[in-house]
Amino acid sequence: MLPRRESRSILVSYIALTSVSIFATRPFDSYPYLTTLVLNAGMGAFLGLDWAAAARQFVTDPVGCVSEPGYIVQQKGKMSADGERGGVWGVNVLSTYILAKELHSHLQKSPSSLPTTPRVIYVSSARADPRFLPPIPADDPQLVDTLESYDASKYVAELVTSALDWEFAQRPGQAVRCLRVDPGVVYTGMFKPFLPLLLEWCMVLTFYIVSASHYTRWTSAYPLLPCSHGGSVQRYIPSE
């Protein structure tokens, strides 16, 4: 007979650091250990779509049009609600970093008899790339004045995940891995405010076609890829 399973939902806001801190301590008082931490939440300061750029990319690069869209208009200067940090950076980088650090001890308590080691899984983006960083990153560390703040923050988070993977490996006790994954092509509804219903359904259909024919070849077969050590994140492309 299979053991009884329990599902528990806890609402946490990545935007508020107080909520993140409470989540990192209170929910696990009743549980002896944590096996996997999936950091999937994120945000972008999206204003709309550049329709001309979208049409151009759809004609010249239909796969990239849905996997790496280059026509999203983003807002510069987005701050957190309290005005103390960059809004996008605070959610996509800082909050995930805090959760990984604070929950490390719970992950280390995972039984060594399990088939996989405890791990932190950071869901990144195909748009995560150093070309979106400011010319001098130290001048805008929280990406407030960076135009593509979402794309840049995802790349910075990949670097942070890589650094945490190295840091956790040096700590005594059971090793905790930090892994970066690509979400593939998935509809989240984040562009629903910018699309008429018909175009929204066209987007969903396009996502399905691309996922079925191309993109899942890379994401489904190789879902968990470890971050590289060092100053940059290497993207793994499987051989034929």
Q: Does residue 9 lie in a domain region?
A: no
Q: Does residue 233 lie in a domain region?
A: no
How far is residue 203's CA from residue 66's CA, in Å, rounded to a whole number? Answer: 8
pTM of the model: 0.79
Render 190-214 in DSSP notation, one character per residue: TTGGGS-HHHHHHHHHHHHHHIIII
pLDDT at position 168 over 90? yes
Q: Does residue 1 lie in a domain region?
A: no
Q: CB-based contacts of 94: which residues, under 8 Å, 6+ apart?
A: 17, 85
- 235 by DSSP, 3-state: which? coil
Q: Does residue 98 lie in a domain region?
A: yes
> What separation in angstroms does the CA of 196 have from each of 147, 185, 202?
26, 20, 10
Q: Does residue 188 lie in a domain region?
A: yes
| Stretch (H or E) spanning 14 | none
CATH number of the domain enclosing 190: 3.40.50
Work out the average pLDDT over 89-108. 91
Size of the chain, expressed as the number of residues it contains: 240
Q: What percent of the chain has pLDDT over 70?
A: 80
The residue among 71 and 3 whose pLDDT is bigger is 71
Give Cα 206 to chain centroid, integer Å: 22
pLDDT at position 178 over 50? yes
pLDDT at position 240 over 60? no
The number of distinct structural domains making up the chain is: 1
Phi-psi region of 76 (alpha: psi -120 to 50; beta: other; left: phi over 0): beta
Work out the average pLDDT over 145-169. 93
Q: Which pLDDT belongs to residue 116?
A: 86
pLDDT band for 6, please (50, 70, 90 cuts). low
pLDDT at position 226 over 90? no
> What separation in angstroms does the CA of 66 have from each of 88, 146, 239?
21, 23, 23
Tokens 């604070």, residue?
Answer: 102
Long-range contacts of 21-30 (CB under 8 A, 24+ apart): 21/98, 21/102, 23/99, 24/98, 24/99, 24/102, 24/103, 25/102, 28/103, 28/106
Q: Does residue 237 lie in a domain region?
A: no
- 76 by DSSP, 3-state: which? coil
Q: Does residue 133 lie in a domain region?
A: yes
Beta bridge partners of 73: 48
How far is residue 148's CA from residue 96's CA, in Å, rounded to a whole number? Answer: 19
Q: Which pLDDT belongs to residue 69?
A: 84
Host domain of residue 183: 17-226
Render 123-162 in DSSP notation, one character per residue: E--TT--GGGS-SSGGGSTT-SS-TTHHHHHHHHHHHHHH
Contact between residue 164 and residue 118 where contact means Cβ atoms under 8 Å apart: no
Q: Does residue 2 lie in a domain region?
A: no
How far is residue 186's CA from residue 219's CA, in Å, rounded to a whole number? Answer: 11
Tokens 């650091």, residue?
Answer: 17
